[in-house]
Structure 1
């Protein structure tokens, strides 16, 4: 009789553990959100954290990192890494400002040119990695230095400010929309761009043959190649997409802050990797999701926001976020091999 009663309990436990690891970022986000509500300061009897403006500011603050993290997720899923995304963001922000202000180009040509630069940069890195067999760490580390150097040459080593108007040396007013809000002044445009990019990536990884190839390469590259997966082309495409999204983040960065600087994006690659790791994507490749990455980015954003609202010292904030990253990485080590 007792065996019959214990069986459902064991069955529930066996189902709970895989769910815990599969949705670790979501569970973590819920816990951090609840803690933020409980820890939030009050103003006029209302919780500052739950103010709609503050919540949308959280999404806005992670929009650039989130866009980078979506591309980084694809790279890590194939078992690689891209250290150049922060520098490519800086290059794109400089390029955007220079083309708008110094060269007097319109918004559409500038966006097309800058996105093409990011795509081309990523594709070249992908060729070096997939065709010539150079380790991704080395290629993208070199790419980080190259992109940073190009940004400094293009800008003359100084940030390029963006002012709006019809006179020479001013950018079209339409570009200022990246710093605005929509839907009744609530949703920041950068946050909306991040949401759209994440949604498209989620669809891509769920319904396309490309996604199956990405997961297959990350799981076992040799087996994927023997199964007919075009490993070289998929790898090049993944790094191309990552470079494209880094350039998009650079455009958003320039529009949000109204300038482009050669040092912009410094350390952003680490924040993007942190969001991916917290989101549950395995650093060895083959397991993870964009949805998890989005949750991971939001978790970091919420954590930073509530610590800032409580005026916690910036150094303590870094310590707390570092501990969260270590915890997330530690959970991956305990993750059963059967959990995808």
Structure 2
């Protein structure tokens, strides 16, 4: 009997492994296609140039950092629609604090990160302690963050000029738009890599991560097992707000401005990266590695389409179709 059941069991394990690493397989497939269809310049593939590859990582760095935080939220079966607006709020805050209030880089970064952390914390409290669905809480949070950003900025973008005089930001903040390692690696890409690496280690080694997965798998069972569900939920939303604020700081540094309209639609891109990465929207299953692969997949796809001059509207359609296909494939996953 064992011999007869072994082949089906192996097939199930193989299928499960494929779905578990679907984002990595998808990234490899899109990468190979990008290489195959890459335009050439002076006889060399434009897509494979080191400058272009690092530009891909730089382009997805803000979304990627937000998506890492979104992964934590979705793992507990929640959602955060406010992250794009929080990015706009914190980008505005970064600009206003330095340009209008003459704050240094360190005080600005600390205040802005604490603002993002606090915003996420309050949303977590509203959702976890008062039982309001995270969709509703963060939808309201999105509106509140946009409103606060408009009030803080006077309803317009705040340009960042660098120097030592009044109304100028410290030159050190401009490093966020620069490259390191002999001008090769963009600073935002490096920050994204560090954040993702720390999140991977944290999710694989901490007791907190086990609580996150337990809540997403079965909240009632987790509560009966002694998991501090309320505290974990609040902490998860706080982490997401903190990372959205970090992305807002990077955004201001890259664009040299903060606008209340910044980050529009970023929440959808972050959710797309998480979904493509294989994290279940019902919670309890997923990984940061998958999310990073999902973000890079979107980045590679967007990059190769831009290299070919494909209309931006067509790019949105293609990306949307990819998300639908990946979400549909998840329904075929064993145990889905």
Alignment match, 1:166: 164
Alignment match, 2:226: 228
Whether 1:140 aligns to 2:133 is: no
Q: How does 1:224-263 map to 2 (within 5 A)?
A: 224-263=222-261
Structure 1 residue 8 displacement after superposition: 8.0
Alignment match, 2:288: 290
Structure 1 residue 7 displacement after superposition: 8.6
Structure 1 residue 148 displacement after superposition: 0.2
Task: Output the CA distance in 1 between the equivalents of 2:97 and 2:68.
Answer: 26
Alignment match, 1:327: 325
Whether 1:24 aligns to 2:22 is: yes
Whether 1:74 aligns to 2:76 is: no
Whether 1:108 aligns to 2:85 is: no
Structure 1 residue 315 displacement after superposition: 1.6
TM-score of the pair, normalised by structure 1:
0.96
Structure 1 residue 313 displacement after superposition: 1.5
Per the alignment, in what secondary structure is the counterpart of residue 205 of structure 1? helix
> Cα deviation per residue 1:6-34 (whole Å; 9 max; x = unaligned)?
99865653332111100000000000000
Structure 1 residue 319 displacement after superposition: 1.0
Task: Output the CA distance in 2 between the equivalents of 1:82 and 1:251.
Answer: 19
Q: How does 1:1-340 map to 2 (within 5 A)?
A: 13-337=11-335
Structure 1 residue 332 displacement after superposition: 1.1
Per the alignment, in what secondary structure is the counterpart of residue 334 of structure 1? coil
Task: Output the CA distance in 2 between the equivalents of 1:10 and 1:330.
Answer: 23
Task: Output the CA distance in 2 between the equivalents of 1:80 and 1:275.
Answer: 16
Structure 1 residue 331 displacement after superposition: 1.2
> Cα deviation per residue 1:140-184 (whole Å; 9 max; x = unaligned)?
000000000000000000000001100100000000000000011
Task: Output the CA distance in 1 between the equivalents of 2:40 and 2:6.
Answer: 45
Task: Output the CA distance in 1 between the equivalents of 2:64 and 2:110.
Answer: 21
Task: Output the CA distance in 1 between the equivalents of 2:153 and 2:315.
Answer: 33
Task: Output the CA distance in 2 between the equivalents of 1:98 and 1:49.
Answer: 38
Task: Output the CA distance in 2 between the equivalents of 1:275 and 1:336.
Answer: 21
**Is the deviation greater in 15-24 or in 228-237?**
15-24
Tell me the C-alpha RMSD between the 2 structures: 1.6
Task: Output the CA distance in 2 between the equivalents of 1:258 and 1:225.
Answer: 46
- Which runs of no fewer than 5 residues in structure 1 stay unpaired? none
> Cα deviation per residue 1:67-94 (whole Å; 9 max; x = unaligned)?
0000000000000000000000000000
Task: Output the CA distance in 2 between the equivalents of 1:314 and 1:16.
Answer: 38
TM-score of the pair, normalised by structure 2:
0.98
122 and 46 in structure 1: CA distance in 2 versus 1, 3 angstrom threshold: same
> Cα deviation per residue 1:200-220 (whole Å; 9 max; x = unaligned)?
100110000000000000000
Task: Output the CA distance in 2 between the equivalents of 1:281 and 1:287.
Answer: 6
Structure 1 residue 316 displacement after superposition: 1.3
